[in-house]
Structure 1
Amino acid sequence: MNHRANHRVMALAALAIFLVQGAAAQGLRPSGASSPGMGLPRSAATLPTPQESAAQRQADNIVALVNSEPVTNNEVRARLARAEAQLAQQGGAMPPRDLLAREVLERLIVERVQLQQAREVGVKVDDFTVTQAEQGVARQNNMSTDELYRRLARDGVGRERFREELRDQLVLQRLREREVESRVKVTDLDIDQYLREQQQSQSAASMEINLGHVLVIVPENAPPALVAERQARVQQAADKIRAGEDFAAVAREYSDAAEARNAGGLLGLRPVDRYPELFVSSTQGVPVGGVVGPVRSPAGFHILKVVERTNAGLPTTVVQSHARHILLRTGPQLTESAAAERLADYRRRVLAGQADFATLAREHSQDGSAKEGGDLGWANPGRYVPEFEEAMNALKPGGISEPVASRFGVHLIQLLERREAKLTQREQRDMARSTVREKKLDEAYATWVQELRGRAYVEYRDAPQ
């Protein structure tokens, strides 16, 4: 079983960042939250006036069909209200409402296309996984889940709505893992080339940068008029940034990239060789605080800001972890919730001294490590998928995690020991392989999103109101 980690920012972490900024900054708003009779039978609520009935009909208008699935005016209005709430709280300039509505509609279309693809290929997320993510958001904000929902409720965000948002993000994350990771192959020649480049440019190889990013997507085979419209939009964003407006506020207003909502457009501090070549070449020699763009790529137009630049150097030693696990694979015969209940019982029995972890792994684990009692051996950082690694890193030696869901199934993890170790030549190549893979994944993801949107049948109806 391959547990190699994907180091991209997880949707869960992104939602945690949103929460720190406050639910209002997230813009999460239950649709119809201001309706006087919400949640009551029609007979118990105030009857609508003719004006209200007209507004409701307008809200139900279909503004676009995405592969025959409607996007309603009501959906656009709800998402538009979220965008306007974000801008109002940040004090950013409010763009014309019709322009913002069109951009919101396009983002809804891209999201809808991905969710349709997820349903088509059978990507699902169990309630257990949503609860795990829910607890993760609370934990990252140093609060209980009850405190989390009290805070959200103050801004009109209900538990059901928030869990729906989490579920969609997790579904899209698993879809990306399924559809994009299979496209990426790293050969020994790729690693050799990477190591040669690193040796030829040690200073560049040891450099890490944090870029702010604004992306305005241009659909594949877009007509010249649409290209011109998107170019004008990204130029407007660039002008605002250069005029001194807050980069995060501009990113949230203009950018189609996920990090715009999740982290104010920041891509995070990482080695330059984990950025797309276009980003590196465009920002080479640009001082911290400098802005580049718009620059064009197959995905659309980009604006890049150099937020931070450090010379990190290459690690010669790492802290390795020695863990074992029990994996139950999920599917039609075993849900994630049922697998988690079974693993929770194993955990209780081990902690009570009624069972041996290795014996349970040999008898029940569905991973190749079962015959070794679940022993995974020593592992460098980044070897496992993020959910697994996060749970393992939170353990002390001898500790056993709660059940943890990943795309492979549900795990029970025991950390045996940790040590500091010097990297061997083979381990250095393994880390180089991970770095090259991450770079290829970023490029493949941008291409995949563009292809998915390009294949979709989209019919625009009435303009959003």
Structure 2
Amino acid sequence: MLAAFFAAALPAAQAADVKMVDGIAAVANNDVITYRDLNQAVARARQSLPKGSNVSDAELRRQVLGQLINQSLVVQAGQRNNVGATDAEIDEALAHNAQSNKTTVAALYAQAAKQGISRNALRRNIAQSIISQKVQQQAVMQHARVSDEEVDAFINRAAQQGVTLPEGEPVRQYRARHILLRADSDNAAAAAESSIRKIYSQARSGTDFATLAREYSQDGSAAAGGDLGWFADGQMVPQFEDAVHRLRPGQVSAPVRSQFGWHVIKLEEVRDAGTPEERQRNAVRQYLAEQKAQQASTDLLRQLHESAFIDIRTPS
């Protein structure tokens, strides 16, 4: 993400273009998207297009402006719900991008400065991306769980319609519960870590995990005792999956930090989808989860647009 961000330098504005560069391209509630923002984003998008793409400049600008408005609305929704990005998360994102691009964080800052982007502005942009990702992932996690009954219904409908479903690949699946304490600022992260360690001690001492989840968890799964249902690798954030992999059924993890906050995880069961029926059910489960995730993202944006004030402007 940052590689493309830095690579797209905003061309030096000619005197006649100053008004367009510094003017307002759109307003989303209380947030202003300037032509400078739009021009930089269009340049990044143009660089990422496949060779031979025939997307017109006007269409690309329309698409990119829509994406900027969507991100603004999602970030605003996150801020209203106290979703933030800590300095540690921003530092981690910078380090990850530096490593991916075989450079250093200092070099990233220097490259941004050449584009007229200050250190604070760069960190602010990264924070907004992190917040946007958190909000969308929270929406997906709350609505993309697939029950056994939904898998059964899908398979039955396919049979009634004479549709042959693919078998799918052998895969290991996990069923776990978790307790989540959100940590969307450095102060909140410290408080959440202290609280989650006390909850972890209670879980280790034999207090029923589901009861603790109902009482303390700030995730949508709290009402179900923290039950996340069955999932396979690639469906949870890496820190969560790594912790699950180190557990045996019945064990409780030490506190784990992810972009959502602090987790304590209890692994309930592990199974290998090895028979043809199991592989088929897993393939259906993954398909339904992907469909629900897409719908959750669509619904989130629709709801945000319905309640938003949006004013799209054109250059004079």
Q: TM-score range by the shorter chain?
A: 0.5 to 0.7
Letter of the structure 2 residue corresponding to residue 175 of structure 1:
V
**43, 50, 64: which is aligned to 1:81?**
43
Q: TM-score, normalised by structure 2?
A: 0.62
**For residue 220 of structure 2, what is the aligned residue in structure 1?**
none
Q: 1:68 to 1:171 in 2, by over 3 A?
A: closer
Letter of the structure 2 residue corresponding to residue 446 of structure 1:
T
**For residue 24 of structure 2, what is the aligned residue in structure 1?**
62
**For residue 232 of structure 2, what is the aligned residue in structure 1?**
382
The structural deviation recorded for 1:318 is 4.2
- What is the identity percentage for the equivalent residue pairs of Structure 1 and Structure 2? 22
Moved more, 318-327 or 187-196: 318-327
More helix by share: 2
C-alpha RMSD over aligned residues: 5.4
**287, 290, 297: which is aligned to 1:438?**
290
**For residue 194 of structure 1, what is the aligned residue in structure 2?**
154
**78, 82, 86: which is aligned to 1:126?**
86
Any idea what SS the aligned residue of 1:78 has? Answer: helix
Distance 1:324 1:179 in 2: 18
Q: 1:187 to 1:148 in 2, by over 3 A?
A: same
Give runs of aligned pairs for residues 346-425 of structure 1, distance below 5 A: 362=204, 368=210, 381-382=231-232, 385-392=236-243, 403-407=256-260, 409-411=261-263
Any idea what SS the aligned residue of 1:319 has? Answer: strand
**93, 105, 113: which is aligned to 1:149?**
105
**CA contact under 8 A between 2:21 and 2:34: conserved in structure 1?**
yes
**For residue 67 of structure 2, what is the aligned residue in structure 1?**
107
**For residue 28 of structure 1, what is the aligned residue in structure 2?**
6
Distance 2:150 2:278 in 1: 15
**CA contact under 8 A between 2:139 and 2:296: conserved in structure 1?**
no
Q: 1:153 to 1:91 in 2, by over 3 A?
A: farther
Distance 1:155 1:204 in 2: 53
**CA contact under 8 A between 1:63 and 1:73: conserved in structure 2?**
yes
The structural deviation recorded for 1:86 is 3.8
Distance 1:200 1:94 in 2: 43
Give runs of aligned pairs for residues 231-242 of structure 1, distance below 5 A: none
Which consecutive unaligned segments of at least 5 residues does structure 2 have? 214-225
Give runs of aligned pairs for residues 66-465 of structure 1, distance below 5 A: 66-87=28-49, 91-92=51-52, 96-137=56-97, 141=100, 147-149=103-105, 152=108, 156=112, 163-179=123-139, 182=142, 190-197=150-157, 204-206=164-166, 313-315=167-169, 318-319=171-172, 329-330=182-183, 335-336=188-189, 339=192, 362=204, 368=210, 381-382=231-232, 385-392=236-243, 403-407=256-260, 409-411=261-263, 435-463=287-315
The structural deviation recorded for 1:81 is 2.7
Moved more, 177-186 or 449-458: 177-186
Q: 1:128 to 1:325 in 2, by over 3 A?
A: farther
The structural deviation recorded for 1:66 is 2.1
Distance 2:94 2:194 in 1: 18
Which consecutive unaligned segments of at least 5 residues does structure 1 have? 1-14, 36-50, 207-312, 347-357
Q: 1:441 to 1:331 in 2, by over 3 A?
A: closer
Q: TM-score, normalised by structure 1?
A: 0.46
Distance 1:142 1:461 in 2: 36
Distance 1:437 1:79 in 2: 31
User: Which protein shows a greater Rg?
Assistant: 1
